[in-house]
Structure 1
């Protein structure tokens, strides 16, 4: 949709957003116009777009590991991704606005810019934004609002915060950064299997962040899977007993099934994080509209204009 808008329109919108930030008290001495545009507006737009692109893989695998069948899982991956669009926009829009405001506030209280940015991201992502993320995931998996219970959400949100810390925060911070292969550069020159593995990791953008995301999110994801599954199957009648049965007995009520289900959760995270990590590792194109927005804010002609 953004590609259909003229660059001037996008530039005007971004410049207006920066002016709104200033009106809300974000000082230019703390965060420059360039930082607001690059580190917050652009970063969150790209991060939200990456999550949307990766969402079909998550919802497909989620339904597949819960024995929905290939065709059903494929259809639900599309419907789930479409269903989350407004909530995803609200989620990353909130991050784009709340994180710079919190950063500026922390800098006013004496924190360095590095400390303030890190702490602001953590505070925002692990507070009210977690509720939005919970709605995104539950709705994407097919849980209707009338199936959600307060008790289930009270269990869901803490587990989600744990997964957010290991997932979203890691992937969001790497956007636009330089990719570093998880394997040592010497493997590239060794030939044979080592060279092939190095090339594979290079192609798939496998770095240390990939493994941090997979390992750090799998345990929390398993709990989230359990809550989502019992909400889908029991709705308002969901009890902690149902979640306990899922975690200790899987889908078939046996210890072997529980172990198998956790292994499926790990495979889900491997698949989804592979797609998400690859998207987050791609170079971000330069936005001409951002240059024009800076010119508007600074009162000088746009590039190419007299």
Structure 2
């Protein structure tokens, strides 16, 4: 059950960080709170990788040569996330003032490392069912990377933070789904979990029909997680919009001003400033002037 607890704890950690990141946009939460959880989760990931690698090395045999080095492949990812969290904490405490663009670049590098980790993991067992779950995990990772890239150009905008929180939430829920779908009895029918060591595992399906059915089930599960995330995001946006719309001098999200105030202002404008006459009517109403103007000279006027 080592794999189950690792994926489950990681999923819960991602969900907590996503919740804090999204709530900090609307509530006066501490700015260091998400980075503290990120640093704690990164330290757990580093400790877990080293511990599993040592235990696999002590119990490994010639039949599983990759059991010991395989857990160490996640160390660069955890190290990048830890570097990002610690740098953000030091920047907030004024001990090491760093520009926000550099911090967002560190988070972008961490998500790129995570993307490469799960993208290249499928080369180990190409026919394993876990590869389908890893491929679907790349979607929220790309969302987080895109949000970090957008935050580099717009560091003060809250929308990249909300997009990154959505990607972290989808990662967390999908890690929980992987924990139950790969390491418990909820694995797809016709597939079985095979372990070479604590870190080296694969989910093998018996026939092509079982492979296609289990892959379709994984896709359906991911669509359900995505639909749930959209539902929660819409509800959160509605609550946030209701709070911002009720105060602030009648201004809603994005500084929107109610239209009834504009109509009330129009009522005080005098109607005498407006006319329905066209320009042609104005020209016809003007008195016609003579083409030639007589100018008297020496007491004599011009002939008419």
Greater length-normalized contact order (CA 8 Å, ≥ 6 residues apart): 1
- Normalising by structure 2, we get a TM-score of 0.27
Greater Cα radius of gyration, structure 1 or 2: 2
Query: Which has a greater percent of helix?
Result: 1
